[in-house]
Amino acid sequence: MGGVVHFTQDQLQAIADALADTSEGLTGAEIGFLLQTCEIADTDPAMTKRHRLYNAFAHEQNQRKERTRILAFIRKSMKPTRYAREPGRFEPMRANLNRALAFAGMSVDATGKLASATKAGTLGEAERRARELRADLLSRGVHADVLIFCKEELLHDNYFHAVLEAVKSVADKLRKRTGLLDDGAVLVDRAFSGSLPMLAINGLLTKSEQDEQKGFANLLKGTFGMFRNPAAHEAKINWMMSKDDAEDLLSLVSLIHRRIDAATMPPRV
């Protein structure tokens, strides 16, 4: 990694907090093993995980005046093969760690490798992202229900969370319009399937209109499948999403909102 050769105290603290998170981080035994493997002195093994790891990192960097072994610790701790038996642990740890690494201009990719990333210099970066995203979406004429998700707190990490919350809003609108309590594909099927669906996006009089109805239902299910799987319900998935991708996906969500707003409820006979 080029550029800065030291982590700041705040960066070290954030990295240690992420890696040693109480519910989603490394276990005490894993921390001890990795410190030993990377030849980093375990200065305070009796302390809580976060303080133990921070103290070890700080001592290592102060002693050697560089961060090579700390980077090695991060790489080894984020090898996907380490989580072969517990695959659900990897993405939550990666998401937490990437939030910490963003201020050092780094990120861990899906293969577990460290890579350079756009450095977040201040917390105001999220505010700037929110303003730019909202301005671009306004120029596209997106649905008003989508614009409310261009919030600073959703864009602190990246654009993923804005899209995730916008997709959630689609399910919420469907439940409000139909009175159903389901979610995901079940909600879509119950709302749009059958010869007399609860919601119809057209007259359903011709085969083309019926095919359009089915296609819209499939589009919804695909969107929910991408962002509303069980992991997303627990807010434990995340990936680096560009502003362009976010705008395209939010435009798609905007289209979905408009079609749902215009849908009719066929009368029950």
Per-residue model confidence as pLDDT tens digits over 47-68: 999 999 999 999 999 999 999 9
Residues 155, 247 contacting (CB under 8 angstroms): no
Q: What are phi and psi of 261, to 5 degrees?
A: -60, -40
Q: What is the token pair recorded at 251?
A: 């435009």
Burial class (CB in 10 A: 0-12, 13-18, 19+), 251: middle
Q: Which two tokens stand for residue 240?
A: 């680096």
- Rounded to whole angstroms, the Cα distance separating 190 from 84 reads 37
* Average pLDDT of span 132-141: 89
Taking the complete model, does pTM exceed 0.75, yes or no?
no
Instruction: Note the pLDDT of residue 236.
Output: 42
Cβ count near 81 (within 10 Å): 7
Return d(Cα 208, Cα 86) in angstroms, integer.
46
pLDDT at residue 182, as a whole number: 92
The residue-averaged pLDDT of 183-204 equals 93
Domains of the chain, by residue range, sit at 9-116, 124-262
Q: Compare 210 and 102 and report the one with higher pLDDT.
A: 210
In which band, very low, low, confident or very high, does the pLDDT at 220 lie, cut at 50, 70 and 90? very high
Q: CB neighbours of 168 closer than 8 A, spacing ≥ 6?
A: 227, 228
Residue 200 burial (CB count, 10 A): 18
Phi, psi of 96 (to 5 degrees): -60, -45
**Residue pLDDT, tens place only, 1-44:** 444 478 999 899 999 999 999 888 999 999 999 999 999 999 99
The whole-angstrom distance between residue 248's C-alpha and the CA centroid of its chain comes to 17
Task: Report DSSP letters for 141-168, one per residue.
Answer: T--HHHHTT--GGGGSS-SHHHHHHHHH
User: Which runs of E-coded beta strand occur in the chain?
Assistant: 106-108, 114-116
Q: Which residues pair with 114 in a beta bridge?
A: 108
Q: Is 57 exposed, middle or buried (0-12, 13-18, 19+ CB in 10 A)?
A: buried
- pLDDT of 234 reads 45
Classify 18 as helix, strand or coil.
Answer: helix
